[in-house]
Chains A and B, each alone.
Chain A
Amino acid sequence: MRHLLSAADLTRDDATAILDNADRFRQALLGREVKKLPTLRGRTIITMFYENSTRTRVSFEVAGKWMSADVINVSSSGSSAAKGESLRDTALTLRAAGADMLIIRHPASGAAQQLAEWTCEADGSGPSVVNAGDGTHEHPTQALLDALTIRQRLGDIEGKRVVVVGDILHSRVARSNVALLDTLGAEVVLVAPPTLLPTGVSDWGHATVSHDLDAELPAADAVMMLRVQAERMNGGFFPSEREYSVRYGLSDRRQAMLPEHAVVLHPGPMLRGMEISFSVPDSSQSAVLQQVSNGVHVRMAVLFHLLVGTDEAVSV
């Protein structure tokens, strides 16, 4: 594997290997005071964040540093992009500066894929590119960390019913999750008002679509709440925060409808009181912070797969 651009590019074996290695990294680092593995010593990783991000940027940086890579962060405001340099030129510059890997977060859908094409040398060499979120397209490492969290909580993903709730239309997290969960054999149910569902969504893998959250909760093994951005309301996608919260929010009442074993996920940032009640994220069913720590281990596994290779076993 050279790049990670879309969750749809991952075979079941790729994805399982990444999740297995993420667990190994977690075990290896458990309780260590010095969190440093020599795996990527001498490798240069550059993160390019053209959108605000806390958890994704930090977890990629931590993942790289814990594996002894040199990690350099570039943001759009502090770089030549602010002076009008094109994305292609910035990417070529970073390649010329010696990047082994480019990790990109960008508001334009397709930016990561384009970056991989632009930085590919004539002989086919060039840096690995990791999509850390491109517009409303994909966010594959988020899907991997969600899958890891579900697997840790439920023991397996195959045959599990995952209910994804919220702004599917604008969500790169939803797109990547639908692709990966489908590959891993889960049943996906997408719950949203029709205004927040993409055209043709009923043909996405084996996903089914519902507008009634209450009806989906009793059979759910996992429920993934997506953030709903305030500007969507101004765009007329739904009438008010109050109505959205009543119809699609994970309230305490709704949490009680979930089976006891079910796990609650949220990719963050959360709007407590809007799509999720104040107390649900802090309950024992919630895996919100486990998702964050898994984010580091999954990203370590992704860096390992792309820079070292899937054939190499993790020795830690």
Chain B
Amino acid sequence: MSAVLIRGVLLYGEGDQVDVLVADGQIAEIGPTVKAPKGADVIEAAGQVLLPGLVDLHTHLREPGREYAEDIATGSAAAALGGFTAVFAMANTDPVGDSPVVTDHVWRRGQQVGLVDVHPVGAVTVGLEGAQLTEMGLMAAGTAQVKMFSDDGVCVADPLVMRRALEYAAGLGVLIAQHAEEPRLTVGAVAHEGPNAARLGLAGWPRAAEESIVARDAILARDAGARVHICHASTAGTVEILRWAKQQGISITAEVTPHHLMLDDSRLATYDGRNRVNPPLRESSDAQALRAALAEGVIDCVATDHAPHAAHEKCCEFSAARPGMLGLQTALSVVVAMMVESGLLDWRGVARVMSENPARIAGLDDHGRPLEVGEPANLTVIDPASTWTVAGAMLASRSANTPYEAMTLPATVTATMLRGRITARDGRVIGI
């Protein structure tokens, strides 16, 4: 593998321009002027931002089972183009990722594609049915070394099952991630329960369905001495519960999606199925609270909940549309638009919430590392001054269900590097 010289970048968007030499999969040299070795690939990036490669704790890559909507190759391409070097693929596939056979397949397939480390998330319960714990220990010990378990898509609703899962996972040193949705409070729900959905005649998903589970699981984690991670926090009330739990010293972490940072339920008026997502788009006051919580650290990280669906699953009655939105290629730009341009986060903050914190939460030791000599070269070069206009059909995903269609967003990814190899450059994927 040839060396790569990244010229003129600002580490974390700070300080003076430096040259960064990458060789043998590592950061080899950082200095004001580094001479390019013979044959080195040079990335001219004067004034651009260098961050550790982005890490996404929450994607749905649909393989195995729904390859018509996405697969590990197309999802990996979207991830690389979006600046990611590691993504976690949820277990709600078909078959479900509830055994080492499936989780090892996902890991190996990701390595074969080679664009991004695809870490499978194991299911907490067999078949996501909420009853019997999966063989977490065997999945953790397999090739994939599964580090995180979740029934995402559905909630581990039974409090006794959740208690046992937390206790058991603590013994393995793995993480349980909860899709917080009390199912009895969301029967038939298709949209946030608020004035907009009420007028539109859409059955409501109350905030309490999320918040009651977050509160319950915080207390269960406290008593089990376990860690718990809350997927896609979506309400202002969840933020307050997280703040309380952290103040108690409970090992709780949480993620927020880009769409919950930017969008709200005023979009529902068109009945466009692309706006259906779970948890639903909330009110603008919730989005504001989520942005503040991310800046403050009450919410630890951004995760996309990248959820591809084919056109026929979205272009239908709103209540029949499958919930979920694309997120991998737009996440960074949305975070820049909502958090950086507003002054809530600087670029070091972006590195924290999109790389360092998610890597730490999941226990990855080779991602989210400092930008220092000797560290693995999992890197993202970002042009903060450029803008782009989103077109679903142009995204690398096999599906096109982006909620940002035709929106012009700030910041583009100039290059992504995985262990020193360029995986995406100037909007093009570079396969192995």
Contacts and interface: CB of A to CB of B under 8 A. Distances in A.
Interface of A: 86-88, 106, 108-111, 113-114, 134-138, 169, 172, 175, 198-201, 203-204
A85 to B, nearest CB: 11
Contacts of A172: 201
Nearest to B320: A108
Contact of B317 (A87, A138, A200, A203): A87
B168 interface: no
A137 B320 CA distance: 15
A106 B203 CA distance: 15
Given A108-B319, A110-B271, A203 B195 contact: yes
B193 interface: yes
A86 B199 contact: no
15 contacts: A87-B316, A88-B315, A108-B318, A108-B319, A109-B201, A110-B200, A111-B317, A113-B270, A114-B317, A134-B201, A172-B201, A198-B199, A199-B195, A199-B198, A200-B194
Contacts of A106: 317
B201 A136 contact: yes
A86 B200 contact: no
B198 to A, nearest CB: 4
Interface of B: 193-195, 197-204, 270-271, 312, 315-320
Given A86-B312, A199-B195, A201-B198, A108 B204 contact: no
Nearest to B317: A108
A204 B199 contact: yes
B295 to A, nearest CB: 29
A109 B315 contact: no
A137 B201 contact: yes
B309 to A, nearest CB: 14
Given A137-B201, A203-B195, A88 B319 contact: no
Given A109-B200, A109-B271, A113-B270, 20 more contacts: A86-B315, A86-B316, A87-B316, A108-B317, A108-B320, A109-B201, A109-B202, A110-B202, A135-B201, A135-B319, A136-B202, A138-B201, A175-B199, A175-B201, A199-B193, A199-B194, A199-B197, A199-B198, A199-B204, A204-B199
Contact of B319 (A109, A138, A198, A201): A109
Contacts of A169: 198
A198 B317 CA distance: 21
Given A86-B316, A87-B317, A109-B318, A198 B271 contact: no
Contacts of A114: 271, 317-318
A87 B200 CA distance: 19
Contacts of A113: 270-271
**Top 10 A-B pairs ranked by shortest CB distance?**
A200-B195, A110-B271, A137-B201, A198-B198, A108-B317, A109-B201, A136-B201, A199-B198, A108-B319, A110-B318
A177 to B, nearest CB: 13
Nearest to A8: B199
Contacts of B319: 108-109, 135
B183 to A, nearest CB: 15
A110 B317 contact: yes
A175 B270 CA distance: 17
Contacts of B320: 108
Contact of A200 (B198, B201, B202, B318): B198
